[in-house]
Amino acid sequence: MKYETINEESIGKLMEIFYEKVRRDKDLSPIFNASVGTSDEEWTAHKAKIGNFWKGMLLGLGDYNGQPLKKHLDLPPFPQEFFGVWLGLFEESLNALYNEEMKNVIFQRANMIASHFQNMLYKFGGH
């Protein structure tokens, strides 16, 4: 059964599914492992932190107070194409959890964030 609403439970499941894909991806896993770490504890903390980000973005909940753009600007340079890989894995994860309407709501937001980050990283001199 797929979620017909966005709630804290579904966002938690999204983080689990998505980051399992990221950890197995040949392009993304080295970048994430260098930044997040390689232990399950470090990944659990990362999923909780990013889950809070999405709860804030989608539900107006959570206590995320990080600087996601700065975190990405501080990473070693990586190919812009990796944003497409990230979005593909994110969309696969959304498809597994949500009905079409909810998937589209979240994926539109993810695309906007990815587009903004790419502009800042590649057009305005970050990478």
Q: What pLDDT digit, counting tens, does each position of 53-106 carry?
A: 999 999 999 788 888 888 888 888 899 999 999 999 999 999 999 999 999 999
Cβ(93)–Cβ(103) below 8 Å: no
Alpha carbons 35 and 47: distance in angstroms, whole number: 13
Task: Work out the mean pLDDT of the chain and round it to a whole number.
Answer: 93
Q: Is 90 exposed, middle or buried (0-12, 13-18, 19+ CB in 10 A)?
A: buried
Is this structure's pTM higher than 0.85? yes
Domains and CATH numbers, the chain: 12-123 (1.10.490.10)
- What is the pLDDT, as a whole number, of residue 82? 96
Q: Is 94 exposed, middle or buried (0-12, 13-18, 19+ CB in 10 A)?
A: buried
Dump pLDDT digits (tens) for 90-101. Answer: 999 999 999 999
